[in-house]
Amino acid sequence: MIGTAEKPFTIKFLETESDVQLELTNATDHALKAVEVLTVFLKDEETPGGGPSQAHIKFEALSQVRAKENVVVSHKTWINGKIVAAAHDQLQRLRVIAGAVRPYVLDISWQDTEGKARFQRIPVGH
């Protein structure tokens, strides 16, 4: 196993005037295959004290991320079982704000060079 295998990925949120996107970077010296950011279920903001999750974000699976490559991972926000328009996208809730509690986690899975499944968790949100 390589030295950075436990945490090969870094993330960055790219913000434009109209939306937010997730950029994933493979910091290793080799390609990682079958990369997937697992679905994030968001806390209900409308129910005092929280309630069952009505919104979640699903990310596109990637067949591979090459060494030192940055990729923007496509996503869709679902609310009450339906894909919502870009105007109602919820990815901005996963942005990290310095000093704020990070209530969510990006769980990333991939296959290493030996074909073994690996996982990494990155705390996110505000």
Mean model confidence pLDDT for the chain: 91
Euclidean distance between CA atoms 55 and 43, whole angstroms: 8
- Pairwise CA distance, residues 90 & 84, whole Å: 9
Q: Torsion over CA of 27, 28, 33 and 39, rounded to 10 degrees?
A: -30
Pairing of strands 62-65, 32-37: antiparallel
Q: What is the pLDDT of residues 43-86, one digit of tens each?
A: 887 777 767 788 999 999 999 999 999 999 999 999 999 999 99
Q: What is the pLDDT of residues 75-101, one digit of tens each?
A: 999 999 999 999 999 999 999 998 889
Count of beta carbons in the 10 Å neighbourhood of residue 37: 24
